[in-house]
A = this chain, B = another copy of it.
Amino acid sequence: MTTVGTVTLVGAGPGDPDLLTVRALRALERADVVLYDALVDPRLLALCPRAQRFSVGKRRGAHSMAQETISALLVRAARRGKRVVRLKCGDPFVLGRGGEEALALEAAGVPVEVVPGVTSAVAGPASAGIPVTHRGLASGFLVLSAVPEEACIRVLSTLPPDAVTVVLLMATSGRASIVARLLGAGWPGSHPAALVLGAHGPRAWTRTCTLAELGAVRIPEDRADLPGMVVLGRTVAIATSIRRALRGPGLAREATEPRPALAANARTGATP
């Protein structure tokens, strides 16, 4: 008789290995089998050299392997007694299909652990200097998949534009159409907006503008492959000030902004 293994749904965070949690790092180091999404940063796979690693080829908006197949692979590996890690971008329960996998594993009698991750929905705006909440500007935030567009618009068109910060994930290609419909629903053209690409990665990029301008923002060719998000709300208006103070890796800046070095003592590690 074999003991059934465990499946651990691990949130990888926005990509940079430094933004893994300690628990996620440990799960990777101990894993026998790792099933990872195509968008997962390759540097993370170096952290589990002894595991069998399989890309399940899933990209946001382009699923090369059916969810049912992935769930079946997880069940099969766990039934062979393996410690299985299912590695997902961001957090497993933020547009990551973690719930579907957990239900399939529950139905098969396989124990599941969930390791929450840093979600790009919060860390992405932060990398561009946008706090998703800010006293007097937004006491909350709304995270939505921009795909399918109908569901996205149905929620946004009921919302007072000033109510909360809105973060639209997978929003790069559909943004012109969404902008047009929001303007049609009465959102002001002057509403602050930002496009953030590849947050926390080496090619992170942002553009701050207005809602009316957002649809026509030109993405540089060398950034066209990066995953992108749209941020709408009054908190976007303070981002330029906050970015002036920001230092560190993976920050999203505008093409024209200076990229200051770290403070000398932070860079050299010298004790003042």
Contacts and interface: CB of A to CB of B under 8 A. Distances in A.
Interface stretch (A34-42, A112-120, A180-188, A219-227): A112-120
The range of chain A's interface size is: 35 or more
Contact of A21 (B18, B82, B248, B260): B18
A73 interface: no
Interface string A46-90: 000000000000000000000000000000000011110000000
A155 B145 contact: no
B19 A21 contact: yes
Q: Give 5 nearest A-B pairs by CB, closest first.
A: A81-B272, A99-B131, A140-B144, A106-B245, A116-B123
A204 interface: no
A95 interface: yes
B135 A152 contact: no
B122 A116 contact: yes
Interface stretch (A159-167, A190-198, A206-214): A159-167
B125 A139 contact: no
Given A5-B263, A132-B94, A143 B140 contact: yes
A232 to B, nearest CB: 13
Given A93-B125, A140-B145, 8 more contacts: A19-B116, A92-B131, A95-B139, A97-B135, A102-B242, A113-B247, A139-B148, A141-B143
A93 to B, nearest CB: 4
A23 to B, nearest CB: 4
A120 to B, nearest CB: 9
A242 B141 contact: no
A266 B6 CA distance: 7
A22 B23 contact: no
Given A102-B245, A126-B116, A265-B6, A142 B140 contact: yes
Contacts of A242: 99, 102-103, 106, 112
